[in-house]
Amino acid sequence: MNRLHETKVRKVNPEHNTIINSQDLIIGEGYFTVIAGPCAVENEKVAVETAKAVEKAGAKVFRSSLFKPRTSPYTYQGYGLDGIEILRTIKQETNLLLETEILSTDHLDDLSKEVDILRVGSRNMDNYELLKAVGRTNKPVILKRNMSATLEEFLLAAEYILSVGNENIILCERGIRTFETYTRNTLDILAIPALKELTHLPIIVDPSHSTGKSSLVPAASKAALAAGADGLIIEVHPDPANSYSDGHQSLKISEFENLMKEIFELAKVLGKKFDIPILT
């Protein structure tokens, strides 16, 4: 992977790691940011209840996916652009920033006006035209690693965003596909320090998709923090058993509150900063 050192992922900022500032949010080296919310927006009641709860517990960004790519075309695909009104309500009732997955350039104009951070999911990591399009917005972009991508392929995907002048990229390790079937994916914990060596970009971890089991999310979250991650994106739902998608890997609100307390204590030991108070 020597050729990566000749590309922008390291070359743009050879001596200092990138710190992303979006409004009053800081993502990057020395800080720890938690993004939380349901797998996908279902309705206003669930979305607003969850948003208020995760904000109170210490999350800074609301996971507010309006579109949900699914393996089966017969499962819940998300609320769609009509959900923008729900996002506006969350903006009015909380101080959370909003992030959402974008599946198509057709949605770019509408979503970029409403959300603070755009997310390119694992299935679209290789959608190079989409990468360049979101890059041109100059908004922060969360880029998720494809479940079968090497680190080189992952970083070269990031190059597509960098190539159009957008350095506000947040890499997301979300687990890779291995022979193990007990977990949904396998969290590549060594990807965190490896990516810290290879790039200046912030790195967050998705413990929900990497484990596929809510019981394993706390351990994966704390392991990611200990390994040097700059943040987490966690699925939280008031009633996971009745969620429209991925309830088995979503934390209950009480579970998320407990996890945030543990993360806050661990972050202090490791010298990471939360920029807002954590629920006590």
- CB of 20 within 8 A of CB of 12? no
Does the pLDDT at position 275 exceed 60? Answer: no
Backbone φ and ψ of 235, nearest 5°:
-90, 130
C-alpha angle 124-128-133 in degrees, rounded to nearest 5: 95
Does the pLDDT at position 23 exceed 60? Answer: yes
pLDDT for 11: 63
Average pLDDT over residues 101-121: 95
Does the pLDDT at position 120 exceed 90? Answer: yes
pLDDT digits (tens, 9 = 90+) for 217-272: 999 999 999 999 999 999 999 999 998 888 899 999 999 999 999 999 999 999 88
Does the pLDDT at position 68 exceed 90? Answer: no
Domain 2-270 sits in which CATH superfamily? Aldolase class I (3.20.20.70)
User: What span, in angstroms and rounded, lies between the C-alpha atoms of 190 and 214?
Assistant: 22
Phi-psi region of 158 (alpha: psi -120 to 50; beta: other; left: phi over 0): alpha
- Distance set, CA 15 to CA 9, 21, 130, 164 (Å): 12, 19, 29, 22
Does the pLDDT at position 278 exceed 50? Answer: no
Average pLDDT over residues 173-185: 96
Domain residue spans of the chain: 2-270
Name which residue leads in pLDDT, 14 or 84.
84
Q: Which of 17-31, 71-85, 108-122 has the highest mean pLDDT?
A: 108-122
pLDDT digits (tens, 9 = 90+) for 191-216: 999 999 999 999 999 999 999 999 99
- pTM for the whole thing? 0.93
Burial (CB count <10 Å: 0-12, 13-18, 19+), residue 85: exposed
